[in-house]
Amino acid sequence: METATGQTVPGSPVRPPRLRSPFARAVVPVAGGIVLLGVIFLVTWIAAVLISGGGAETTSRLAPPVFPMGSVTARADSIAEDGPIVLADLHTTRGDRSLVVDHEGDNPTTGWKLYWGYPADRDPTCPVTQVPGTRTFTDCSGRRPDGAQLARAGGVHPTVVESERLEIDLRAVKQR
């Protein structure tokens, strides 16, 4: 058998294939590369389908069902001094709603209230911004509602754990 230089390979009765035309030498490697990339993509896609079980459900690592706020005493003191805490775009799939955490009373384990970051008589397209250090907000039309005039946060619940930690339960939030 002859090698690429025209010599035979010792012990081999078969000649290695040779691409003779310049067109074949240019197209065959490119076509082979495209086929190889297609096979790699197909294998990766099949592996992803098998791993996900065909579905795309969220997990608690991807979208935690509970948002930890920390010490109830520290949060209640902070709200008493600087007004409600605004959590912008808190764990919603659309990311366009803010949550306002408020506390009333002297007992840090009770009196927690949650509001959406827009007035009760408006929709989410009219977000509020907090006047720093106060319980007052400014809405999209320049009005100044206080925390109690904001929309009640349905499906979101403040939970006090072991009389020490505040958590916001997001499991029942309905996405638009």
3-state secondary structure of 74: helix
DSSP for residue 148 = G
Per residue in 77-93, pLDDT (tens digit) is 999 999 999 888 764 44
Pick from 87, 75, 86: nearest CA to 112: 75
Give the pTM: 0.60
Instruction: Take residue 30 and report the two structure tokens written for it.
Output: 């490119």
Residue ranges of the alpha helices (H) in 65-111?
72-82
Per residue in 144-166, pLDDT (tens digit) is 988 788 888 888 889 898 989 99
> Which of residues 9 and 32 earns the better pLDDT score?
32
Residue ranges of the alpha helices (H) in the chain?
22-52, 72-82
Average pLDDT rounded to a whole number, residues 13-38: 88
Q: Would you list the domain boundaries of the chain?
A: 1-57, 66-169
Percent over 90 (pLDDT), the chain = 27
3-state secondary structure of 147: helix
